Amino acid sequence: MAIDFMVMPMSRYITGDFTTPAMRFAWSQGLPYTVVSSDGKREIPPGSPFGGGDASLRRRQVVEMVLEDLRVLPPEIAGQLWDEHSGTEPRFHRVDPKSYEALLAHFARKAVSPAHCASTLLLPCEFEDPIAMVSPFERTAGAVRRALHELASSRCPPEATSAAETLRDALTDSLELQLPVIVDW
């Protein structure tokens, strides 16, 4: 199972308006890129976004709905929203699943309250504790800077080192681009 830390606007992720390094690698080798899900197999043609040829059009149609959902979050988040219209090229960080599992277990044992590092959505804004989001999709949201602080101040076990470094790289990209990190399982 592949796990990626994806740095991009949420609307881009929701509509599939992106191509991943794995997709580009398959196409460069002359291979099809196939997605297998509960809906069956779907082949993505070379150069097409993950969500299909109309993904960028759908994204333009849903950006305002995503922003409406984000504006009802607590004021410390809603008042610091990022650019959901951003055309910045997404960044992808593939994480080793066993190492990531070890990292999550480490923070689960260590924390009295939920760790920002263990969140499945990390936002480039400052807030105290992770929150449960229900819309635009169901995720636990943490703050990027707080997650970076947790990584810096924690001594991760050796089996979690690779995931901690990969997460640190994704969080650093998030701060640079001022875009969320989405954990894609």
Q: Record the pTM.
A: 0.95
- Provide the pLDDT for residue 112: 60
Mean pLDDT of the chain: 95
For the cut 90, the answer to whether the pLDDT of residue 128 exceeds it is yes
Domain for residue 30, yes or no?
no
Domain for residue 130, yes or no?
yes
How much is the CA Rg of the chain, to the nearest whole Å? 17
Q: Pick the range with the lowest mean pLDDT from 2-6, 34-38, 103-107, 137-141.
A: 34-38
What residue numbers bound the domain in which 95 lies? Answer: 3-20+55-184
N- to C-terminal Cα distance for the chain? Answer: 7
- Residue 46's contacts (CB-CB under 8 Å, 6 or more residues apart) are 27, 33
Domain for residue 48, yes or no?
no
Domain for residue 29, yes or no?
no
**Phi, psi (deg, nearest 5) at residue 182:** -110, 125
Domain for residue 31, yes or no?
no
Domain for residue 175, yes or no?
yes
Gap between the Cα atoms of 171 and 112, Å rounded? 23
Region of 27 (left: φ > 0; alpha: ψ -120 to 50; beta: rest) is alpha
Average pLDDT over residues 36-43: 89
What is the tally of structural domains in the chain?
A: 1
Using pLDDT thresholds of 50, 70 and 90, give the confidence band for residue 111.
low
pLDDT digits 0-9 by tens, 130-176: 999 999 989 999 999 999 999 999 999 999 999 999 999 999 999 99
Domain for residue 134, yes or no?
yes
Domain for residue 34, yes or no?
no
